Amino acid sequence: MKSLRIPFYIVLGIFVATFILGSFVDLQLSESIFSANNTFGIIMSTIGTIPGYMMFAFLGGGCIALALTRGYKTPYKVILFICAVAGLGLSTYFSGREFFGPNGFNTGKVWIGYLIALPIMCGVEFLGYYLIKKSNRPYLWLVLAIIAVAMFFALVPGVTLLKNIFHRPRFRSIVGVNDERLYFHSWWERCKNYKFLMSELNLSKEEFKSFPSGHAGASLCSILFALLLPYIDEKYEKISLPLFCSGVAWSILICFTRILVGAHFLSDVSMGAILTALFALIANEVLINLTVLHQDGELITKEEIINE
């Protein structure tokens, strides 16, 4: 949507600025606000990513709606149903593990988190099915595919790959073990001896995944609702900006609480948000340039959209 271009650039610019700032004040900021067992921070850690991971379930519901429409051959229907199952599975897995995993209450009973997340994500998948079933837009499959690709690259290769390259120690571990062998690393400094430190200090690999923040990236994925809904039905365009702002506000809250509990530094959460904002911006530009909108029974070409 053209109306979201400027907000996307503003948000991206804000997180780039905080990333640069964090490169200089990461340690000082964490030292000043760190609260290891802050209840509010832990609660936000458990629920912070849910709005973002809901997108997987929502897209899964959209795949079911498309699979049940006429005109698709059996192989395509099978692929769509597989995508629907994958969407439900990914959303349940990623959000469920946060409740009682190392980033939440850390009781070890992660399976309870899955039981909590499953009905929530089933409801979201049904919502996606319902909304997209009502839409008669012929290009919805393209919209769903582009947003799914944006989410995948923001959360999987982007965050996971960088975590496994830098192995940055979390602030909570640096403070918790109080051992001179485990010290603060700036985001550009790889912790090359992390395996040795894991063994010597009895730390899990999770404690060396500070940069970038997956929570920040996943929470900001909620802005994709604002991008998707107007393509389902144009009547939703009037709420796209409020939804976008709500998603950004939620992400900023999650970023703050992740620093508060010592799970991340300012540069960590900023980079996680940058990756999602960047891929969402690219998805928005692709949709503007490649989709063909159906209005008043006439096809509008991409040139007419751009010059609108």
**Interval 119-131: pLDDT, tens:** 999 999 999 899 8
Instruction: State the pLDDT at residue 97.
Output: 81
pLDDT at 30 over 90: yes
Q: Is the peptide bond before 212 cis (omega within 30 degrees of 0)?
A: yes
User: Measured between alpha carbons, how far is 280 from 197 in angstroms, rounded to an integer?
Assistant: 37
Instruction: State the pLDDT at residue 137.
Output: 67
Instruction: State the pLDDT at residue 190.
Output: 92
138: pLDDT confidence band, cut at 50, 70 and 90? low
Which has the higher per-residue pLDDT, 234 or 219?
219
Residue with tokens 């992660």, as numbered in its chain: 110
Q: Between the CA of residue 205 and those of 164, 199, 220, 257, what are the distances in Å?
A: 10, 10, 25, 21
106: pLDDT confidence band, cut at 50, 70 and 90? low
pLDDT at 294 over 70: no
C-beta pairs of 41-44 under 8 Å, 24+ apart in sequence: 41/257, 41/258, 41/260, 41/261, 42/104, 42/105, 42/261, 44/253, 44/254, 44/257
pLDDT at 27 over 50: yes
pLDDT at 3 over 80: no
Lowest mean pLDDT across 116-120, 210-214, 220-224 = 220-224
pLDDT at 301 over 60: no
18: pLDDT confidence band, cut at 50, 70 and 90? very high
Instruction: State the pLDDT at residue 23.
Output: 94
pLDDT at 217 over 90: no
Amino acid type, 7: P
For CA atoms 51, 23, 190, 274, the dihedral sign is positive
User: Measured between alpha carbons, how far is 13 from 35 in angstroms, rounded to an integer?
Assistant: 29
The continuous run of DSSP H or E covering 262 comes out as none
Instruction: State the pLDDT at residue 308.
Output: 45
Helix and strand numbers (H, E) in the chain are: 14, 2
> What is the mean pLDDT of the segment spanning 24-43?
91
Check if the beta carbon of residue 284 is closer than 8 Å to that of residue 4.
yes
Instruction: State the pLDDT at residue 85.
Output: 93
Q: pLDDT, tens digit, for every residue of 226-249?
A: 888 887 877 888 888 898 999 999
